[in-house]
Amino acid sequence: MGNYYSNERDILELVSLLREHHIRYAVISPGSTNISFAQSLLYGPDFKVFSAVDERSAAYMACGIAAETGEPVVISCTGATAARNYVPALTEAFYRKLPVLAVTSSQHFGRVGQYIPQVTDRTNPMNDIFVKSVQIPVATREEDKWANNLKMNDAILELRRNGGGPVLINIETTFSKVFDVKELPEVRVIRRYTPDDAMPRIKAKKIIIFVGSHIEFDRGTSEEIDRFCSTYNAVVVCDHTSNYKGKYRVLGGLTERQTGYHSACCDADLLIHIGEMSGAYYRFEGIPTWRVNTDGEVRDPFRKLTKVFQMSEKRFFAFYNRKQKDPVENTYLDEWKKNEEYLLSELKELPFCNAWIAQQTGPRLPEGSEIHFGILNSLRMWNCFELPASVTGYCNVGGFGIDGCISTVLGASLVNDRKLYYLVLGDLATFYDLNALGNRHMGSNVRILVVNNGVGFEMRHRDNRGDVFKEDANEIFAAGGHFGNKSRKVLRHFAEDLGFTYLTAETKEEYLQNLDRFTSGREAEDKPILFEVFVDVEDEYEAYEATRYTVKDKTAVAKTAVRSIIGEKGVETLKGILGK
C-alpha cells in the first residue's frame, strides 16, 4: 500500500481548503501527533514543505517566507510544549501582520487537564499572538462537519483580512495509520471580497435578497436594491424587523412556514443575505449564499455561505447595477406575490388568538407608527400578515430573550413623543419586564398589547419537544399558572394604578369593539394604553397548525413522511445513492 493522503476526514478538509485558498508554503516540525497532517501536505503536489526541528526556528522561518512572498505560510507541530515554542515568532507576526497559520495537532480535547502525557490546553492563547484561533474536534455528525468547515474557512480568511496576521487552527487527530486517500475531497470554500478586490460575476436567474433585522433603509440604498431587483430578477424577502419597504418587498412568513406544501418560489439560484440576526426562522435550503455586511464576518445561518462582501449594501448593489448591461424581465416578484395571495386565500378562519389579532390589527396600525414584538410566537404570527408600508418593526432578536420587551419600547418612545409606539407580547414576557410599566418616563405614545394565554406557548406547539408532554409541559417547561393564572385583575390594577388606560377582551367581538381606540391617532389619547387579551392556548395551537399546514401538496407530504421514517442521515444517504 502506498502512502498517500491521511484518511482522517478533518485533515482532508483542512488540506483541501489550504489548496483552494492558494496557500503553498509549509514549515513542519517533527512529532507523532501531526503525522496525518504532515503526510497529507507532503503527498499533495500543491505544497512546498520545509522541515525545522526547533519550533521557535520553524515559526521564524515562516515569518521570513511570509514577509518575502506576501503569502500565508503554514507551520505544523505535535503536542506537549511544541506549540509554546511558537510564541516569540507569532508575537513578531502579530505586530508585523504576517499571515502565519499555526496548525497544532492535538489528542482528544477531553484529555486536556487530565494528567495525560503530552496534552496541553490551547484554548486561550495570548492576546497578541493570533488574530483568530479555532478548535477543530473530530467531526462525528453532519452538523460537526458543517461547523468545522465554517471555522476552518473563517480562520484561513483571517490571515489576509484587515492587513493580515497569524492564526491558530488546533485540530484533533485520531492517530490513524491509514494513508490510502489519493484525491482530496471537494469542500465548500468561502471567499471574502472588499471594495479593492475583483468582484465575482452573478450568473443566477432567480435571486432572493433576504433581510434580517435592520434599521430603516436610507433612500439611496433602497433605490439601489430596487434597481438590482428590476434587472436581476430578484425579490426582497422580509419579516417585520427587516424594514425594507421598496417595490420588491415580499413578506415571506406564510410561504416559508409551510410544511405540507413547497412553493417553487422558494427555489432560487442565489441568496444575498443582508442585515443582522433574524427571528423569522425562514428555511432557505440548498441555495448558495452571499453575505453583504460592513463587518465582513463569516455568518452562515442557512449553511450555504460561499462569499462574504465586506462593504456597505449600497456599494455592493451599486457595483452590480453598473455591471448589468442587459436587464432581464422580473417575473420572480409576481411568482412570490401570487403564492402569498394563494396561501392567504386558503387560510381557514382563525380562532381568537395571536394570529387572528395580527390579521385584524396589522392593516389598521396608524401611518408612521412603530411596532415592537415579543420573540417567537408574537413575531412569528404577525409575520404572516402585512403592515402598512410606513410602519417600522423591531424585536429583541439579538440576545433573543423574553426579557426587556417593555423597556425597549419605552426607550424608543422617548425619542419622539409625537410618534406612536406599539408592542405585542405574551404574558410571560410581560411579567418578566413588569417593572418598566412603572417608569415615570412612560408616555402616552406607548400602546401595549398583551396576549395572555397563561403559559409559554413556545414549549407547547408541535415542533417543540415539550409537545410530547401535552398539558404536563405546563408544570415546568411552559411555566403555566404563574402571575395569577390568567387573572382578570392583576394587570388591570397594576396598569390603572400607574396611570394607563386599560382595555380588555376575551372574544373576537370584544376585541373589535376596542380596536378603534387602540389604533386611534396620537391626539386621541392622553395616557399610555395597555390592552390585555385573554386567549386559550388550544386556539393558539390551532392557529399554529393552520399557518403551517395551510395547504398540502402530495410531493411535500411524501418528502415529510420519508424524512420522518429514515431521518436526516438517511435522507442524505438516499440523495447520494440517487445522485441528487
Coil/strand/helix, residue 571: helix
CATH code of domain 348-548:
3.40.50.970
Encode pLDDT of 42-80 as tens digits.
998 999 999 999 999 999 999 999 999 999 999 999 998
Number of alpha carbons in the 13 Å side-chain half-sphere of residue 449: 27
Q: Are strands 25-28 and 392-395 parallel, antiparallel or unpaired?
A: unpaired
Locate all alpha helices (DSSP H) within 362-404, ordered by sequence. Answer: 377-382
Distances (CA, A) of 409 to 320, 383, 403, 448, 451: 37, 19, 12, 9, 17
Q: Which three cell numbers stand for residue 523?
A: 391626539
CATH code of domain 207-345:
3.40.50.1220
What does each of the 580 residues of the chain score in pLDDT, given as a tens digit?
Answer: 468 999 999 999 999 999 999 999 999 999 999 999 999 999 989 999 999 999 999 999 999 999 999 999 999 999 989 999 999 999 999 999 999 999 999 999 989 998 898 899 898 899 999 999 999 999 999 999 999 999 999 999 999 999 999 999 999 999 999 999 999 999 999 999 999 999 999 999 999 999 999 999 999 999 999 999 999 999 999 999 999 999 999 999 999 899 988 899 999 999 999 999 999 999 888 999 999 999 999 999 999 999 999 999 999 999 999 998 777 889 999 999 999 999 999 999 999 999 999 999 999 999 999 999 999 999 999 999 999 999 999 999 999 999 999 999 999 999 999 999 999 999 999 999 999 999 999 999 999 999 999 998 888 888 888 889 988 888 888 889 889 999 999 999 999 999 999 999 999 999 999 999 999 998 889 999 999 999 999 999 999 999 999 998 755 444 444 444 445 455 454 444 444 4
Hey, what's the torsion of the CAs at 236, 290, 315, 295, to 10 degrees?
110
State the Cα–Cα distance between residues 220 and 224, nearest whole angstrom. Answer: 6
Boundaries of every domain in the chain: 9-188, 207-345, 348-548, 550-580
Locate all alpha helices (DSSP H) within 85-188, ordered by sequence. Answer: 87-96, 142-158
State the Cα–Cα distance between residues 240 and 251, nearest whole angstrom. Answer: 8
Coil/strand/helix, residue 258: coil
**Greatest CA separation found in the chain?**
86
DSSP-assigned beta bridge partners for residue 102:
75, 168
State the Cα–Cα distance between residues 90 and 422, nearest whole angstrom. Answer: 53
Are residues 430 and 453 in contact, defined by beta-carbon separation less than 8 angstroms? no
Are residues 459 and 478 in contact, defined by beta-carbon separation less than 8 angstroms? yes
Are residues 133 and 125 in contact, defined by beta-carbon separation less than 8 angstroms? yes
Among candidates 365, 371, 370, 363, which has minimal Cα distance to 419? Answer: 370
pTM of the model: 0.92
State the Cα–Cα distance between residues 345 and 132, nearest whole angstrom. Answer: 51
State the Cα–Cα distance between residues 207 and 388, nearest whole angstrom. Answer: 25
Locate all alpha helices (DSSP H) within 372-479, ordered by sequence. Answer: 377-382, 405-413, 427-432
Encode pLDDT of 75-133 as tens digits.
999 998 999 999 999 999 999 999 999 999 999 998 999 889 889 989 889 999 999 99
State the Cα–Cα distance between residues 74 and 86, nearest whole angstrom. Answer: 12
CATH code of domain 9-188:
3.40.50.970
